[in-house]
Amino acid sequence: MSDKKNQKGGEFLLAAGDADEIFTPEGFTSEQCMIAKTTEDFVRQEIWPKSDKIEAQEDGVSQDLMLQAAELGLLMADIPQEYGGMGLDKASSTLIAEKMGMAGSFSVTLLNHTGIATLPIVFFGNKAQKEKFLPGLAGGEIGAYCLTEPGSGSDALAAKTTAVLSEDGKYYLLNGSKQFITSAKWAKTFIVFAQVAGKEFSAFIVERETAGVLIAPEELKLGIKGSATSGVIFEDARVPVENLLGEIGKGHLIAFNVLNIGRYKLGAAALGLAKLALEHAVKYALERKQFKKSLTEFGLIRKKIAEMTSRMFVAESLVYRTVGLIDNALEGIKGSDGETSLKVLEGIGEYVIECSIVKVYASEMADYIVDESLQIFGGYGYSQEYPVERLYRDARINRIFEGTNEVNRLLIPGMLLRRALQGGLPLMQVLENLKNEVADTSTVGEQAAVGEFPWYREKLEGARKAVLMATGLVIEKHLKEIGERQELLALLADMIMEYYALESTLLRLEKGSVGIDDWRSQALLNYFPAAMSRLLVWGREVLGVVVAPVQLAERLAQFDKFCRMTPFDTISVRDRLAEKIISVEGYPKV
Ligand SMILES: Cc1cc2nc3c(=O)[nH]c(=O)nc-3n(C[C@H](O)[C@H](O)[C@H](O)COP(=O)(O)OP(=O)(O)OC[C@H]3O[C@@H](n4cnc5c(N)ncnc54)[C@H](O)[C@@H]3O)c2cc1C
């Protein structure tokens, strides 16, 4: 990891980033590559041959694979060494998540377990709880996380499950029902959220054998069929007071903090799934002949292959940039006591905006990739005989759990504004400076020459100003009731995400001094103009809503200049990129 200054969360929008300060996949250490290889070998050799059994939830199959994963150390990356874990850096555990993304349903079983089912104890458990539960969780005893209820999903704090302290003060009586709980029927431990005294949202560790814990019938789902999902019902379940996790009334800290980690790992897993879909699509396109040509010879198929690669490359850049920021923030924090755990959470929580971006961007990227991969397979893509049908169904859940993409979109500008208003980010000052600059647009022109990165730097700066200008205008008009202006917030979220995507990718290329003819540069060359067009469309919509009609023409002229790009021959760029991807039959190793 870099020892340079770490940007604060959300700061990427306020000042141009520095290539030296970001982490990129080109910087993986040999240990990290080994972990990635171990995971990928496990997926290909152990999980794929059992796919049908996993999909059918055949007894013992997923549980045995979890034990095997534990033996390989894949369940213990985020668990401190003194409790049977490996306490690895986050880039390593994210690489595990990425490679597990190729494992279909089983990836949900494993990542749910290592994430939201284990981390609450890692971060909030006391010594006795860690000693009691973490070795088992690291060793493959499956855990579950029970937050969602029939009446409360996104609005998680409105949970109705109650926890009432017994008269002798020895246990809590839990009553209520949880909905859509991953691995419920296999779990030995459940992290359960409930209201104490009716309103103090709190978390408990509930053991499987507790009387009064009932597992509802299995949900029949669209995808990830091999991941068990069902309701969990608590009927006077007696939970010893020792199993209260953290403090009474502080359950929200547990519920939301671990979700940040879940979000960047979900992004990585979506990336792994997308890479696999591309590999299938390219291999199929090479074999399949129509009109006496292989599909890879058709311009429209080549365009799909190039476009998929571009979006994947961008997603990969922003996933690992974010993980690098987190690893830098955690550097030097050692130990596993309560205070240290809170410092770790604070370090990760600093990047809540970036974590949400990763989640939304990568899950939507993956949905696009599986859709296009299926299209390349034509009718066979729709058939269960071929692998993309399942990838298509499996990918869809990623936009729903770990906070829906709507909720995460609202969080991105919402958190940025909150930090600005609390004095944590100098957003208002930056907006004020920009206002003066906008008045003089003479410095923002058309590009001088296509193909040189310094030129992209200039366009990127335009993109940043475009996002800031739109943000500033929304704040000016709607600050007081901003929470009620969801559509505007979502437009800002899309613009902020697109800027983070562009910057992360350009900085990655700059850091690696990647030549313009390299496939990675072609990926960005293809992506850049389309991203600028999206910014233009989103920003114009924002301006149309918030700027008074008499000022609109002038403001639009200023705004458009930030985003305008002279078109160039993107078809040739895509063709070169597709050629590379076809030649290596999938996403190239970086
Ligand atoms: C396969 C699967 C596995 C799951 N595993 C777990 C698990 O292990 N543990 C667990 O606790 N939960 C789990 N969940 C639950 C999951 O986290 C929730 O489904 C999710 O949080 C959304 O809640 P909901 O389904 O009640 O939808 P709702 O919250 O009712 O949302 C419905 C729609 O309204 C939108 N919406 C909601 N609020 C707002 C708002 N304020 N503004 C704008 N739009 C809004 C949503 O984005 C969504 O599009 C799982 C779900 C599934 C399907």
pLDDT digits (tens, 9 = 90+) for 307-362: 999 999 999 999 999 999 999 998 888 777 878 888 888 888 999 999 999 999 99
- Total structural domains in the chain? 2
Strand partners, 192: 146, 204
- Tell how far the Cα of 363 is from the centroid of ligand 1, in angstroms: 15
- Give yes or no: residues 388 and 498 share one domain: no
- Give yes or no: residues 399 and 419 share one domain: no
Amino acid 150 reads P
Mutate to test the pocket of ligand 1, among 108, 152, 155, 180 (most ligand atoms within 8 A of CB): 180
List ligand 1's pocket residues with C-beta within 6 A.
112, 145-148, 153-154, 180-182, 221, 229, 397, 400-401, 404, 406-407, 486
What are the DSSP calls for 447-500, one per residue? Answer: -S-TT-HHHHHHHHHHHHHHHHHHHHHHHHHHSTTGGG-HHHHHHHHHHHHHHH
- High-pLDDT (> 70) share of the chain, %: 96
Instruction: Summarize the confidence of residues 260-278 as an average pLDDT.
Output: 96
Q: Has residue 486 been placed in a domain? A: yes
Q: Is the pLDDT of residue 439 over 90?
A: no
Kindly state the DSSP code that residue 44 receives in the 8-state scheme: I
pTM confidence score: 0.96
Mutate to test the pocket of ligand 1, among 155, 399, 404 (most ligand atoms within 8 A of CB): 404
Q: How far apart are CA 71 and CA 85, in angstroms?
A: 11
Q: Has residue 185 been placed in a domain? A: no
Amino acid 550 reads V
- Give yes or no: residues 275 and 335 share one domain: yes
- Tell how far the Cα of 204 is from the centroid of ligand 1, in angstroms: 21
| Pick from 76-85, 124-133, 454-463: least confident | 454-463
Residue 136 is predicted with a pLDDT of: 96
Structural domain that includes position 277: 253-406
Q: Has residue 468 been placed in a domain? A: yes
- Give yes or no: residues 370 and 472 share one domain: no
Atom of ligand 1 nearest to the CA of 155: 29
Q: How far apart are CA 123 and CA 463, in angstroms?
A: 38
Total residues belonging to the chain = 590
- Closest Cα to atom 24, ligand 1: which residue? 153
> Which residue among 402, 498, 503, 510 is the active-site one?
402
- Give yes or no: residues 325 and 382 share one domain: yes
Residue 287 is predicted with a pLDDT of: 98
Q: How confident is the model at residue 452 (pLDDT cuts 50, 70, 90)?
A: low
Residue 441 is predicted with a pLDDT of: 53
Q: Is the pLDDT of residue 198 over 90?
A: no
Spatial contact of 177 and 232, defined as CB atoms under 8 Å apart: yes
Buried b (16+ CB within 10 A) or exposed e, 320-359: bbbbbbbbbbbeeeeebeeeebebbbebbbbbbbbbbbbb
Q: Has residue 143 been placed in a domain? A: no
Distance of CA 238 to the CA centre of its chain: 36
Strand partners, 387: none
Q: Is the pLDDT of residue 495 over 50?
A: yes
- Closest Cα to atom 14, ligand 1: which residue? 180
Cα-based angle 37, 42, 45 (whole degrees, multiple of 5) = 115
Residue 63 is predicted with a pLDDT of: 98
* Domain final residue, candidates 406, 440, 474: 406
Residue 448 is predicted with a pLDDT of: 41
Residue 84 is predicted with a pLDDT of: 84
- Tell how far the Cα of 360 is from the centroid of ligand 1, in angstroms: 14
Atom of ligand 1 nearest to the CA of 156: 21
- Tell how far the Cα of 562 is from the centroid of ligand 1, in angstroms: 37
* Residues 6+ away with beta carbon under 8 Å from 243: 129, 204, 205, 206, 207
Atom of ligand 1 nearest to the CA of 402: 17
| Pick from 203-212, 338-347, 532-541: least confident | 338-347
Amino acid 513 reads S
* pLDDT, tens digit (0-9, with 9 covering 90-100), for 378-432: 999 999 999 999 999 999 999 999 999 999 999 999 999 999 999 999 999 999 9
Q: How confident is the model at residue 453 (pLDDT cuts 50, 70, 90)?
A: low
Q: How confident is the model at residue 447 (pLDDT cuts 50, 70, 90)?
A: very low
Q: How far apart are CA 276 and CA 370, in angstroms?
A: 9
Q: How confident is the model at residue 2 (pLDDT cuts 50, 70, 90)?
A: very low
- Closest Cα to atom 17, ligand 1: which residue? 401
Mutate to test the pocket of ligand 1, among 106, 146, 152, 154 (most ligand atoms within 8 A of CB): 154
* Domain final residue, candidates 406, 433, 453: 406
Nearest CA among 89, 156, 155 for reference residue 116: 156
Strands 189-196 and 143-146: parallel
- Closest Cα to atom 52, ligand 1: which residue? 180
Mutate to test the pocket of ligand 1, among 401, 405, 407, 412 (most ligand atoms within 8 A of CB): 401
- Give yes or no: residues 479 and 397 share one domain: no
Q: What six digits make up the tokens of 20?
A: 């030296």
- Give yes or no: residues 443 and 577 share one domain: yes
- Tell how far the Cα of 152 is from the centroid of ligand 1, in angstroms: 8
- Closest Cα to atom 7, ligand 1: which residue? 181
- Give yes or no: residues 454 and 514 share one domain: yes
- Closest Cα to atom 29, ligand 1: which residue? 154
Q: Has residue 19 been placed in a domain? A: no
- High-pLDDT (> 90) share of the chain, %: 87
Residue 449 is predicted with a pLDDT of: 44
Q: Has residue 512 been placed in a domain? A: yes
- Closest Cα to atom 27, ligand 1: which residue? 153
Q: How far apart are CA 68 and CA 109, in angstroms?
A: 13
* pLDDT, tens digit (0-9, with 9 covering 90-100), for 246-266: 999 999 999 988 888 899 999
- Give yes or no: residues 369 and 447 share one domain: no
Cα-based angle 533, 534, 536 (whole degrees, multiple of 5) = 65
- Give yes or no: residues 391 and 425 share one domain: no
- Give yes or no: residues 458 and 324 share one domain: no
* Domain final residue, candidates 387, 406, 425: 406
Q: How far apart are CA 392 and CA 396, in angstroms?
A: 7
Residue 458 among the catalytic residues: no
Q: What's the CATH number where 394 sits?
A: 1.20.140.10
- Tell how far the Cα of 127 is from the centroid of ligand 1, in angstroms: 33
- Give yes or no: residues 373 and 419 share one domain: no
- Tell how far the Cα of 151 is from the centroid of ligand 1, in angstroms: 10
- Closest Cα to atom 11, ligand 1: which residue? 147
Q: How far apart are the first and last CA of the chain?
A: 17
Residue 346 is predicted with a pLDDT of: 87
Q: Is the pLDDT of residue 278 over 80?
A: yes
- Tell how far the Cα of 230 is from the centroid of ligand 1, in angstroms: 14
Spatial contact of 185 and 202, defined as CB atoms under 8 Å apart: no
Share the mean pLDDT of the chain.
94
Residue 1 is predicted with a pLDDT of: 47
Atom of ligand 1 nearest to the CA of 154: 29
